[in-house]
Amino acid sequence: MKNDNLLAKWLSGEISEEELKILKRSEDLSLYEKIIAHADKLEAPAFDRATLLQKIQQQQSASSSKVVPLRPWKWMAGVAAVAAVILVSFLFLGNGDTVISTANAEKTDVVLPDKSEVTLNASSSLTYNEKKWNKKRLVKLDGEGFFKVAEGNAFDVQASLGTVSVLGTQFNVKNRKDYFEVSCYEGSIQVVYQKDTTRLAPGNTFRALGGEVVQTGGFADNVPSWIRNESSFKSVPYREVLKEFERQYNVKIRTDTETNRHFTGSFSNRDIETALKSITLPFRLKYEFTDGKKDEIIIYADKD
């Protein structure tokens, strides 16, 4: 009996003890258990077990007997339609890498092999290799993530704009285009940016904008504001505020106002009308939705 058929039976609760023994000897059961466990943590539409079962059954009828070496990609092809239900991508690559990514307007929690924890903000991705983890605790980050690192040997966060190294601590890394920011919440961390090394103690932030290091003041929070569903900024270019708004609400913003001026303030990630007021009123700006659409917003100067 094919493993796909056994997986379908397992998901529906109809698998026998003998069939379960066969399935446990394959790599498929472990893969699906991880996916289902991860889906339970999503801040996204509810995970639909029945839909996944249906996709597997459809795959059975369409599949041939040909063996495809990269089984995770076979799974992705077979259940691609489930992406409408599971918005966070959770991929296991043939080289041992695990890639977890979020889309706009969502975030997710990740538990690493050493029990270190990462919360990914909207439109972010995290890559790590479980096979090599015991030798080197290394993750690659694109976007933004808050890390709670378990004690152990060196833990490195590799981003396109810089690298953060720690032993065991809590910190936030924001790695967006031309915007690199690291904040230390517990312990101490080392930031390598353009070959220069900076050490951060709790309550301190390292920030680089457009390739230039920017001085920032301290802070007293114990977690990033976005963990509490609020995006906060301290003397940040307005264009970066608008980009973050687009990520949090999955909208497109158009404006002809000055976006290089600095913004200090915050907006809610749960109420779009309140959030829009928070980012427009300080500059005496107005906003409107394009032709009644909720995913296109125009921000313009108040000429009254």
46 pLDDT band, cuts 50/70/90, is very low
Which pLDDT score, from 0 to 100, does residue 72 have? Answer: 36
pLDDT at 47 over 50: no
Query: Span 132-136, mean pLDDT?
Result: 94
The label of the residue with tokens 């909720």 reads: 294
- The mean-pLDDT minimum among 79-83, 100-104, 295-299 falls in 79-83
Higher pLDDT, 21 or 52: 21
| Vertex 190: Cα angle to 187 and 195 (nearest 5) | 175
Residue spans per domain, the chain: 1-85, 88-228, 229-304
Which pLDDT score, from 0 to 100, does residue 70 have? Answer: 31
CA pair distance 184, 203, nearest whole angstrom? 6
CA pair distance 283, 251, nearest whole angstrom? 21
pLDDT at 86 over 60: no
Higher pLDDT, 35 or 143: 143
pLDDT digits (tens, 9 = 90+) for 159-185: 999 999 998 899 999 999 999 999 999
Q: Tell me the average pLDDT of the chain.
A: 81
Q: Are strands 125-129 and 97-101 parallel, antiparallel or unpaired?
A: antiparallel
pLDDT digits (tens, 9 = 90+) for 259-287: 999 999 999 999 999 999 999 999 999 99
CATH architecture of 88-228: Sandwich (2.60)
- Strand partners of residue 296: 252
Higher pLDDT, 297 or 47: 297
**Percent of the chain clearing pLDDT 70 (strictly above):** 71
Query: Span 73-89, mean pLDDT?
Result: 41
Which pLDDT score, from 0 to 100, does residue 217 have? Answer: 83
254 pLDDT band, cuts 50/70/90, is very high
Domain 229-304 has CATH 2.60.40.10: no
CA pair distance 285, 302, nearest whole angstrom? 5
